[in-house]
A and B are shown apart, each in its own frame.
Chain A
Amino acid sequence: MLDSKIPGGPLADKWTQYKNNIRLVNPANKRLIDVIVVGTGLAGSSAAASLAEMGYNVKAFCFQDSPRRAHSIAAQGGINAAKNYQNDGDSVHRLFYDTIKGGDYRSREANVHRLAEVSTSIIDQCVAQGVPFAREYGGLLDNRSFGGVQVSRTFYAKGQTGQQLLLGAYSALSRQISKGKVKMYNRHEMMDVVLVNGKARGIIARNLVTGEIQRHSAHAVVLATGGYGNVFFLSTNAMGSNVSAAWKAHRKGAFMANPCFTQIHPTCIPVSGHYQSKLTLMSESLRNDGRIWVPKKKEDAEAVRKGALKPTQIAEEDRDYYLERRYPAFGNLVPRDVASRAAKERCDAGFGVNETGEAVYLDYASAIERYGKTEANVRGLENPNAEEIRRLGKEVVKAKYGNLFDMYRQITDDNPYETPMKIYPAVHYTMGGLWVDYNLMTTVPGLYAAGEANFSDHGANRLGASALMQGLADGYFVLPYTIGDYLAEDIRTGAIANDSAEFMEAEQAVREQLNRFVSNNGTVPVDDFHRRLGRIMWDNCGMARNKEGLTQAIADIASLREEFYAKVRVPGTTTGFNPELDKAGRVADFLELGELMCKDALEREESCGGHFREEYQTEEGEALRRDDEFTFVSAWEHQGNPSQAKLHQEELVYDNIELKQRSYK
């Protein structure tokens, strides 16, 4: 049985009581303890900085040339916190409730409540660090609203919230690096975790510049290595985002939880060609003011696709604002999974609006008009003409979303102030990840997972602006406590040797895999296999899944994996800077993960959140959960081939919330 180690007591008191009762390590002893943090995104930077401040010796790793470049930097829209500054009825309980409901009742109550509790400290902390959040004229912090909720609790810094938060965490990390409390390893990749007597005691790392293989020992290892959306090849993730660290941990005994729970984000720029290397997200904040539609008439959609008709020529009554039509209560602000599926439904039915038929409109015309009128009033203009109103409205929209509009224009060569944007869903985030207990410890003692790398808080669908919250909560406020409780046992252990048999064996295995790649006499580039894997995943384990497709995908991935090892060409050698070699290792792991994701999706015979099994839907086409049979977390234990993984279930118990069919109508 999986023990999630949820503390006793009433939900709202659990975390406080837990903190009051854990063991602490005194400052002198902390100096004797080493912790490795892999990853310097929001979760990793904040964890490394906090642990170092507390007195532990920290080694931190990232594969980019600087910790500041982690994928978190790209987050656009904002970060949630239950501050209730807007006085719109927000509270810790409401944030907790929204997150559980948004996650379609597949997350753990105690973790989510703790997240909501610490959310307010995150904002305080970031402001103290000098993070320049958006403010109102009165000098106080501004908020916006995001999908799936009815309050404004999202703090933001224009469309660069992730950047500003990460630079805040990076500055805290830099402060500790300068003090010598964190030793930073840039351009280093974790190749494996090392277990000694069943406990995580270090990692094997590779210097990506020289190719040198290194053994690093520690008393505990934290993986904050991000999500694995790139298994789909095309996603909104940064090019280097990968599953390898988590997958290596999985192979060493850490269970993977709910791997099939993937978030497909409704508002991304559609695919434009075969060469495409990644997809670009248009922040969800755009759904605040933008209206999503497709033509009501098929002939209009066809004419648009052929370029014979412009969207601005389609009359109001001939437009189908399908989200507002289907979900009047939430309208364009339904959760992401719902919005994505609705777009797919319209496009599959033949109403798509670009050449491939896979795009819908996101229209700012009415927002521009609305803001323009308000602005005209504010400025006391009498009888402004339509053009004047539009000009004022565009200024407001520019101030709010300017950088996103610019980005759209650069990529598509279209002007979104004048014509609606075209958007389509794309892979964005992975709710699944390493299984962790309440302490954020995986099933391997001493091995922790934080941020997107773990599965903990978002159930089957994550609400917008909650990943940044979770990453910083884990790193600043949760791990620093929970890890101490574990390390209290280690104060007499002394330094861990890095030349034990376990380390040497792990190092040897890493060397063998690298040699195998560069000495393979293949001809096909790594990306070719990655792209093909992505296609299999998108077609069969994407927005809609079914038994037949998943079964086929499992077989296809296994044979693609064989072909990969037979035919891949990895140029260069194992020494020196060799990005193709780095990529080969990551794609090898994706080729295993994909198979496990399909197996997980196959065995979860229900629809929930981002996991939509066509066999299980309501008459209106909404996801049909099967709570009596599937109110559990699937935690997979590695057993050789991914499709032979063994299932462990963690029952989800809802004492404080009533399980309901989600409704956003």
Chain B
Amino acid sequence: MNLTLKVWRQNGPQDKGKLETHQLTGVTGDMSFLEMMDVLNDQIIRDGGDPIAFDHDCREGICGMCSMFINGEAHGPGRGVTTCQLHMRSFKDGDTITIEPWRASAFPVVKDLAVDRGAFDRIIQAGGYVSVNTSGETLDANAIPIPKADADEAFNAATCIGCGACVATCKNASAMLFVSAKVSQFALLPQGQPERKRRVLRMVEQMDKEGFGNCTNTGACAVECPKGIDLTNIARMNRDFLNASLTGE
């Protein structure tokens, strides 16, 4: 298939940036979206130009590094997939595709389609862990049975890949889905209980400090989340936050 690609080019956080148009021929349906970008970059390099910078690593939907806003949707038209898992068979010959970076003031552009998601790391550093030393001298792993349903739900929350699509999709650039997924993972497990209140207070405080917007319950985040992180996590976090705010750490 032949495609017209409108790609966001921006030299750094200060640069204004603009869309640049490229024509690409010979794209096949079995190519992944990023392989299509490789072919485009190959063409640009051979023509003596400056290739388009974008983030990616695993190319199988698990590292959370790829992050393209495609035709107005985070990770493009597919549901439950990251950009790297999107295949060109989702498009047809003659299509025009617009490709932009995540847009949120808490995610400044590094270059072109790559953004800085360091804010997510700092939120985890604020409390997204169980304070246990790595000595190995802990209880036997089977000492505390955990009901399968709780373990499964904690697992579901823990599958968040930290990609930031939720933020990019939200009209307020809220990070609630991401933060609540981590808060929920620990809230659902016995290991997470001792620090439960402190954790939610600190993580939410850091989230606000990073400049993410407020949640107005539009639910767009969960629609675009490639890992199907559920909105109930946000509700759980809100409850925990309220409780912790009222009763203190």
Binding site for B on A (CB under 8 A): 46, 49-50, 53, 64-69, 71, 73-74, 83, 85, 118, 121-130, 132-141, 157-158, 160, 162-164, 167, 170-172, 174-175, 177-178, 184, 186, 209, 238-240, 272-273, 275-278, 280, 406-407, 410-411, 413, 476-477, 523-525, 527-528, 569, 571-572, 576-580
Contact = CB atoms under 8 A, between A and B. Distances in A.
Nearest to A476: B134
B4 to A, nearest CB: 19
B45 A132 contact: no
B46 A65 contact: no
A379 to B, nearest CB: 17
A527 B51 CA distance: 13
Interface in B112-150: 114, 116-118, 120-121, 124-126, 128-142, 145-148
Contacts of B34: 277
A100 to B, nearest CB: 23
Contacts of A170: 124
Given A74-B58, A525-B42, A186 B134 contact: no
Contact of B126 (A139, A178, A277, A477): A178
Nearest to A129: B130
Nearest to A182: B125
A115 to B, nearest CB: 13
Contact of A130 (B64, B126, B191): B191
8 contacts: A65-B118, A74-B58, A74-B62, A124-B140, A137-B148, A140-B142, A174-B129, A525-B45
Interface stretch (B81-89, B167-175, B217-225, B237-245): B81-89
A71 to B, nearest CB: 7
Contacts of A525: 41-42, 45-46
Given A139-B148, A178-B125, A132 B158 contact: yes
A275 B53 CA distance: 18
Interface in B57-89: 57-65, 78, 80-81, 85, 87, 89
A125 B49 contact: no
Contacts of A138: 145
B155 A186 contact: no
B159 interface: yes
A92 to B, nearest CB: 14
B17 interface: no
Contacts of A569: 45-46, 48
Contacts of B28: 273, 275
B134 A240 contact: no
Size class of the B contact interface (CB-based, 8 Å) = 35 or more
B94 interface: no
B9 interface: no
B139 A158 contact: no
Contact of B35 (A67, A136, A167, A276): A276
A276 B61 CA distance: 16
Which of A67, A85, A128, A170 has most B Cβ within 10 Å?
Answer: A128
A239 B56 contact: yes
Contact of B136 (A71, A407, A477, A579): A477
Given A83-B141, A163-B62, A125 B136 contact: yes
Contacts of A135: 145-148, 151-152
Dominant secondary structure at the B interface = loop
A500 B53 CA distance: 36
A238 B65 CA distance: 11
Nearest to B49: A571
Contacts of A69: 57-58, 63-65, 162
Nearest to A410: B85
A410 B78 CA distance: 10
Contact of B63 (A73, A136, A275, A410): A73
B231 interface: no
Given A209-B110, A527-B38, A64 B57 contact: yes
A406 B78 CA distance: 13
Nearest to A526: B45
B55 interface: yes
Among all A-B residue pairs, the 9 with the closest Cβ atoms: A139-B145, A121-B136, A171-B129, A132-B155, A128-B138, A178-B125, A577-B111, A127-B141, A69-B63
B157 to A, nearest CB: 8
B185 interface: yes
A124 B124 contact: no
A125 B137 CA distance: 8
Contacts of A66: 117-118, 120-121, 162
Contacts of B162: 66, 68-69
Nearest to A142: B148
B234 interface: no
B154 interface: yes
A430 B155 CA distance: 30
A85 B233 CA distance: 32
B121 A129 contact: no
Contacts of B110: 209, 577
B189 interface: yes
A410 B32 CA distance: 10
Contacts of B89: 413
Contact of B129 (A74, A129, A577): A129
A170 B78 CA distance: 29
Contacts of B81: 410
A73 B155 contact: no
B107 to A, nearest CB: 11
A136 B139 contact: no
A240 B118 contact: no
A476 to B, nearest CB: 5
Given A74-B60, A139-B148, A411-B87, A175 B131 contact: yes
B149 to A, nearest CB: 9
B206 to A, nearest CB: 10
Interface string B90-124: 00000000000000000000110010111011001
B141 A132 contact: no
Contacts of A127: 138-139, 141, 191
B120 A275 contact: no
B57 A273 contact: no
Which of A71, A132, A133 has most B Cβ within 10 Å?
Answer: A132
Contacts of A164: 155, 158
Given A73-B58, A74-B58, A141 B142 contact: yes
Given A46-B134, A132-B152, A174-B128, 18 more contacts: A74-B62, A74-B63, A83-B142, A126-B141, A128-B138, A132-B151, A132-B154, A139-B151, A157-B155, A163-B62, A171-B124, A172-B132, A272-B30, A275-B39, A277-B34, A411-B32, A576-B11, A577-B114
